Chains A and B, each alone.
Chain A
Amino acid sequence: MFPEEQRQITNICQKLHRDSNAKAVLLIGRDGQPIAEAGEVSEIDVTSLSTLTAGNVAATGGISKILREKDFTSQFHEGEKTHVHITLVAGRAILVVLFDERSSLGLVRLRVRKATDEMGRIFEDVKRKAALQTGPSILNEITDADIDKLFND
């Protein structure tokens, strides 16, 4: 992910958070790495939520394969107070919307559809960019000494 696209993705998450009256919006890689977030996330263990959601989506993907279905693109978990809407974005990332009685499943679904279309286009841009260049990678600058320093007791 390049800095410009990261900013665009975060903006979409923020807009989705506002437009859907959600509590929080998270975008997660399919491997469970958090990519972007918006809304009331300070009370949430984002890392754990991301990992478990990715595990959940991976398990559901495994079920779809057994049933010879395409990926199940969305899931909904209904809680007493908080509900969770999970959607695959362009097969590459997972969009999670947490919402409560201030919103509704219908509204969330509607706004999510627009947001996933926009994110899908950005992922295509990232793919094109990545094919053309290696990107401004911090990794190119790391030295042996940097790595050793991390492991000094």
Chain B
Amino acid sequence: MSFINYSSREINCKLVYYGPGLGGKTTNLQFIYARTSPEAKGKMISLATETERTLFFDFLPLSLGEIRGFRTRFHLYTVPGQVFYDASRKLILKGVDGVVFVADSQIERMEANIESLENLRANLIEQGYNLDRLPYVVQYNKRDLPNAAPLDEMRSLLNPTRVPEFEACATTGVGVFETLKAIAKAVLTELRRAGGS
């Protein structure tokens, strides 16, 4: 849940990057970290296994600028994508303000995408959220790979409600900031609509 600190004049929001294992969630954050000026970012934390797979979460604090004298800060989290770590994913969704679903475009990962999306819906419901009412965007990552599934097919499977969607290649940064901007904007718009919390 967003937090407004009137003494330090900050609006803090929590974004979660969700999706199947090895889909590029951590790579999104790494690219954002690499391309953001030092004043606008904090330290990036990755709680990973010895083989660099996300164990608990990655975390990146970003400052986007000021609105009406309040600094807007976004806390970006990834979840561990591997099915095994479902308990950790549930914890990270607590207090979420917006979700990015990072889908892996490789045709052989389509089942994993669908499973992860169903898992996202179920875990959100457990936390009292509804994906259809939450600021939410979809990123089709790894569009550069030769075995990428056709976009129409991915759209019909993963984005039936037609939320904002972006084609991406997180390793080179294509679509990464577009995705971030879209979810950050959606979160701020929703906060304004809700009139604060």
Contact = CB atoms under 8 A, between A and B. Distances in A.
B184 A151 contact: yes
B35 interface: no
Contacts of B72: 150
Interface stretch (B6-14, B20-28, B108-116, B128-136): B6-14
A115 interface: no
Nearest to A4: B6
Nearest to A137: B196
A147 B188 contact: yes
A47 B181 contact: no
Contact of A138 (B12, B70, B75): B70
A6 B5 contact: yes
A91 interface: no
Given A31-B1, A138-B68, A3 B91 contact: no
Interface residues of A, number: 37
B7 A151 contact: no
Contacts of A87: none
B45 A52 contact: yes
Which of A10, A139, A150: most chain B Cβ within 10 A? A139
Interface in B40-64: 42-43, 45, 47, 56-57, 59, 61, 64
Nearest to B14: A31
Interface string A34-78: 110000000001011001100100110110000000000000000
Given A1-B3, A32-B75, A140 B195 contact: yes
Contact of A59 (B3, B45, B56, B185): B56
Given A31-B14, A146-B67, A6 B7 contact: yes
Contacts of B87: 62
A135 B184 CA distance: 23
Given A55-B47, A140-B192, 20 more contacts: A3-B6, A6-B5, A10-B7, A29-B95, A32-B95, A33-B12, A33-B14, A33-B95, A45-B43, A48-B43, A52-B45, A59-B88, A138-B67, A138-B68, A139-B11, A139-B196, A142-B67, A142-B68, A142-B188, A150-B188
Interface of A: 1-3, 6-7, 10, 29-35, 45, 47-48, 51-52, 55, 58-59, 61-62, 134-135, 137-142, 144, 146-147, 149-151
Q: Which 3 pairs show the lowest CB-CB distances between chains A and B? A: A137-B196, A31-B95, A139-B196
Interface of B: 1, 3-7, 11-12, 14, 42-43, 45, 47, 56-57, 59, 61, 64-65, 67-68, 70, 72, 75, 87-88, 90-92, 94-95, 181, 184-185, 188-189, 191-192, 194-196
17 contacts: A1-B3, A2-B6, A6-B7, A7-B7, A29-B3, A47-B61, A48-B45, A48-B59, A51-B59, A59-B91, A134-B195, A137-B4, A140-B192, A142-B67, A149-B65, A150-B64, A150-B185
